[in-house]
Chain A
Amino acid sequence: VDPVIIEPGAEGLGEMLGGLVRGNLERAPQRIQLLRAPISRVNVRAADMDASAGILMGAGRFHVHGSVLANPDLDITADAQTLLALTAVPLRLGMPDVATVEGRAIVAKLSRGDLRVRGMVARLPLLTRLNRLLSAL
């Protein structure tokens, strides 16, 4: 059973997020463990365009919806290039590795507010699971 479900309305950004996770799970099936936790709600928004997605993540599924979800555990907003960069940044313990140029660039965007992650502190383990699931590296 495909753990990634992409709702018909989840075009564009939602399709990309779902496609990335699907590709990563095919390449690294052990990452399915990152979906073993109870279901959490994650929103991803591309600030420089009209694109957003809501994700129900957990209980073995990565379920992508075409619009944002109410009461998200995590809410991530950045421009399109930054969202893409997040999926290609080297990770350390599930967070951008500040020992790398790419990792420092992400941290700088966070500190400038160009990348906003609501719920980052309270739901850090969820964020690290999401980062690992989406990482194309």
Chain B
Amino acid sequence: MPLFPSDEWLKDYVERINSSKEYEEAAATWEGDLCYVFEAEPDKSVPKDVWTWVDLWHGKCREARYDIGEEEGTKAKFIIRAPYSRWKQVIRKELDPVKGMMQGKLKLKGDLPTIVRNVKAANELVNIAATVPTDFVDEQR
């Protein structure tokens, strides 16, 4: 099973995005890249922030890169950041991303009206993440 966070996990995620009819429909008009920032939690085996970039375009992911660094990552149109353990809750569907944002547990940088207009697409991205069989880095023996 892919380890989260890792390049292997990202590749599996991207494959699932590109084979999702639900996402393709929900994100038909979406244009813009997105950076997920998995913030460091050294006590949970995430020693540094991991910036993961996905280029999303009209219902497909054209390209993705793992651990691109902050300088590159901040150029993305949208940035969503949270500590690693929050992402783990999102992937396990224990934390609804909309509620997470309203509670300040997930931070979004970028044009909010665009996100609101495309909230179905954003929810599909989370649904897809939850389908990736995942080993979490802090649960490894």
A11 CB to closest chain B CB (Å) equals 4
The answer to whether the Cβ of B68 comes within 8 Å of any Cβ in the partner chain is no
* Interface bin, chain A: 20 to 34
The answer to whether the Cβ of B96 comes within 8 Å of any Cβ in the partner chain is yes
Indicate with 1 or 0, residue by residue over B110-139, a CB within 8 angstroms of chain A CB atoms. Answer: 011110110100000000000000000000
Please, which residue of chain B has its CB at the minimum distance from the CB of A83? B102
The answer to whether the Cβ of B47 comes within 8 Å of any Cβ in the partner chain is no
Please, which residue of chain A has its CB at the minimum distance from the CB of B112? A19
Judged by DSSP, the binding face of B is helix
The answer to whether the Cβ of B140 comes within 8 Å of any Cβ in the partner chain is no
Indicate with 1 or 0, residue by residue over A12-23, a CB within 8 angstroms of chain B CB atoms. Answer: 110110011011
Instruction: Report chain B residues within 8 Å CB of A68.
Output: none
Looking at A32-40, A42-50, A104-112, the stretch in contact with chain B turns out to be A42-50
Identify B99's interface contact among A27, A80, A88, CB under 8 A: A80
The answer to whether the Cβ of B28 comes within 8 Å of any Cβ in the partner chain is no
Q: Are A23 and B99 in contact (CB under 8 A)?
A: no
Instruction: Report chain B residues within 8 Å CB of A15.
Output: 104
In the bound complex, CA of A88 to CA of B99 (Å): 16
Q: Are A51 and B103 in contact (CB under 8 A)?
A: yes
Indicate with 1 or 0, residue by residue over B92-109, a CB within 8 angstroms of chain A CB atoms. Answer: 000010110111110010
Identify B112's interface contact among A12, A23, A50, A51, CB under 8 A: A23
**Provided the pairs A80-B96, A88-B119 are in contact, do residues A16 and B102 lie with their beta carbons within 8 angstroms?**
yes
Q: Are B119 and A84 in contact (CB under 8 A)?
A: yes
Q: Are B116 and A49 in contact (CB under 8 A)?
A: no
Q: Which of B39-98 contact A (CB under 8 A)?
A: 96, 98
Q: Are A84 and B103 in contact (CB under 8 A)?
A: no
Q: Are A136 and B103 in contact (CB under 8 A)?
A: no
Q: Are A11 and B104 in contact (CB under 8 A)?
A: yes
**Provided the pairs A80-B96, A88-B119 are in contact, do residues A49 and B102 lie with their beta carbons within 8 angstroms?**
yes
In the bound complex, CA of A136 to CA of B111 (Å): 10
Q: Are A88 and B102 in contact (CB under 8 A)?
A: no
The answer to whether the Cβ of A137 comes within 8 Å of any Cβ in the partner chain is yes
Can you give 10 contacting A-B residue pairs, CB < 8 Å?
A: A16-B112, A20-B113, A23-B111, A24-B113, A46-B99, A49-B103, A81-B98, A84-B119, A88-B116, A136-B113
Q: Which A residues contact B (CB, under 8 angstroms)?
A: 11-13, 15-16, 19-20, 22-24, 26-27, 46, 48-51, 80-81, 83-84, 87-88, 136-137
Q: Which B residues contact A (CB, under 8 angstroms)?
A: 96, 98-99, 101-105, 108, 111-114, 116-117, 119
